[in-house]
Each structure stands twice: as structure tokens, then as C-alpha cells.
Structure 1
């Protein structure tokens, strides 16, 4: 049996679970369509914590996602693959345009963000990583991706996030440029936000 056949058989097994245990379909629809937006909530919270480490996390994770999606666009153009619902009869639980199936952009984005979260906030990052796995699995369950699509997306997202962090940490020019950009933003932020909000964290508790 070829790798392509194994991939399809695994897809069919997961996708048919929607008919075997249909009470899980609503949860899978949510994971496949909306759970990714929880990462935006996380990014918002980390950024406005006003901690330098968290802001580096946000910058690195966003850059990683953009690079990952750029790689995805190139791969999708050079090695186009039809979606499962185009090539086979499937149980399609969510609407989707019939564009390139490989790699999964949702997996790239989720795993790039989760990897950055793990690097900077290990304990919380594990929860984000588990959410990424659930999102990837749901994309197969709902009939819009093959297992190899989400696996490929996960590998791209993890690799890019790790690479971006390595460059940011090891290349002095990039590290310095990031620090300067954050300092400039913080100066601008201090001008547009009330002073008591900015300085509140600097006041020792109990005084």
C-alpha cells in the first residue's frame, strides 16, 4: 500500500467517525472553524500585559505565522493537491472553498503560535499545543484536509517558529532591532494611554 493510500485510508477512518459518533460533530465544527481565534485572544492578552518577554513572544509568533503562510502558498502552488471533498465522497461538515489542500494553513498558524507560546511560557504553551492538535484533528474529521495536510502544516509551523526564535536570540542585529522597535512602541503607548495605567504596575503592592 502506497503512502497516498495510507493517507486516504486514515482520512476515511477519521472522517467516518462523524457518522459513528455524530454527537461530537458540533464540537468538531467549532474546533475546525472557530477555535483558532482563541489564539488571537491569547496574543491580545500577552501583548497588553506590558511585559517585554510577552511582547517578544507576540512579535515572534506573528512573524512565524506570516512566514509559514508564505511557505504554504508556495508549496500549494508548486505541488497542488485537491481537497478530500473534491477527490472523494466524504462527510463534509463545514463549508470550504476548493483550493489547495496541502499543507493546512490552520495547522501552520496554530502550531506556529503554540510553539512560540511553549518557548516563552512553557506551562501555558502545552495547553495551546493541545489546542493545536485538536484543531488539526478536527480539520480531518470535518472532511476538509487529509492527515498529511495537517501533519505537514504542523511541521512547518513548529520549524518556522523555532527558527524565528533562534534567529531572534542568536543574531544580534535582529535582537537589537526588535528591542528598539518595542521601546519605540512603548514610548508611543505611554503618550496615548493614561499615565496611571502605565505606571500602575510599577507601584509596589500594599503602598
Structure 2
């Protein structure tokens, strides 16, 4: 079933130039897009957005750490290793399950969504597109993406529920940042 779902998505690759270009762009640049959004939130937003950025970074790092552990426990070869696929971008033949790109995208998006609905919803839509793009370009099976969504949900829920325990981390980072001269500072209250 996993391979059949993969084929249903990946069979379109290489036949639709616009869609190919979009999926390649998303799969190669998703985390850069997220970094830009988080940097804008940090530099343009009030202090509560800075807290969100730090919590999102913690969430993303935790998600990728869990992926690293899973990858050492369970090895699933990538689709292009075991099947003939429409591979749009070359990739290392490392573990396929779970998808680091999708885990990062969902971890960051959900971390923001839990605190700022509008921005988080946009990021979540882009995370969904990121997951689809990973299958489309031939790098992952749909279950790799699904596993990544589960990891993203898990870590975002854990970090959100532990935010009061983790509060000293963003507070310290923001206080250090606020001591730096000549950097933009918006809203210096400690609203969270």
C-alpha cells in the first residue's frame, strides 16, 4: 500500500514542468522559507513572537533528534534504492523513514500554530506541501511523511505543554539579545 501510494504521487514527476519546478523548489527550500518566516517573526514581531521563535527552534531540534534515533533503530531504504522511480533530484542513499524535511516543517509549523493561529496555519499548509513534495520528487514514501507528521505532532505537543518549565530558555536568549546594541527591538515587555 505504501508503494502504491508512492507511485500514485511520484508517477506525475517529470511530466508537468510547472508542478515539477514547484515541487523541486519546495523540497529544496522549505526549511529556508521557514527560517525566513521565523527571522521575520523575531525581528519584526513583539516579544511574544520571539518566545514563539525560540520554542519553535526547540521543537524542531527535538523532532530532528527523534528522527536521528529512529533512523538508527529502524532502517527503511529510500524509494529510488529499491524501485524504479521518477527521481527529480539526486539524494544520498540514507534512511528514508522518517523524513527530516517533513519533520522539521511540521515541528516548526505546529509550534507556531499553537501560539499564533494565522501565521501557523500558513506554515502548516506549507508543511503539507513539503511532505507531498518529498514523495513527488522520489525521496520518500508516504508513510515516511506520515511518520514525520506524528513526530512533529508529538514534539510540538510536548514542548507546548512543557513551556512553563522551558520558559527560562527563551527568557535568557531574549534578554541576551536585548543587551546587544544596534539590533532591532520591538516591544520590550515580557508578554508571552
Shared fold, TM over 0.5: yes
CA gap of 1:61–1:201, structure 2 versus 1, over 3 A, is closer
CA displacement 1:130-168 (0-9 Å, x = unmatched) = 000001001000000000001111110122012101101
Larger radius of gyration: 1
Asked if the contact 1:84–1:145 (Cα under 8 Å) also holds between the matched residues in 2, the reply is yes
Give me the TM-score of the superposition, normalised by structure 1.
Answer: 0.84
**Cα distance in 2 for residues equivalent to 1:72 and 1:201:** 36
Query: What do you get for the CA RMSD once the two structures are aligned?
Result: 1.9
User: Is 1:26 aligned with 2:21?
Assistant: yes
CA displacement 1:91-123 (0-9 Å, x = unmatched) = 000111010100000011000110111112101
**Cα distance in 2 for residues equivalent to 1:33 and 1:91:** 16
Counting matched residue pairs gives 188
CA gap of 1:128–1:179, structure 2 versus 1, over 3 A, is closer
RCO higher in structure (CA 8 A, sep ≥6)? 2
Matched with 2:160 is 165
Gaps of 5+ in 2: none
Query: Higher helix share goes to which structure?
Result: 1
Matched with 2:31 is 36
**Cα distance in 2 for residues equivalent to 1:187 and 1:147:** 43
User: Is 1:16 aligned with 2:11?
Assistant: yes
Give matches, 1:85-104, under 5 Å.
85-104=80-99
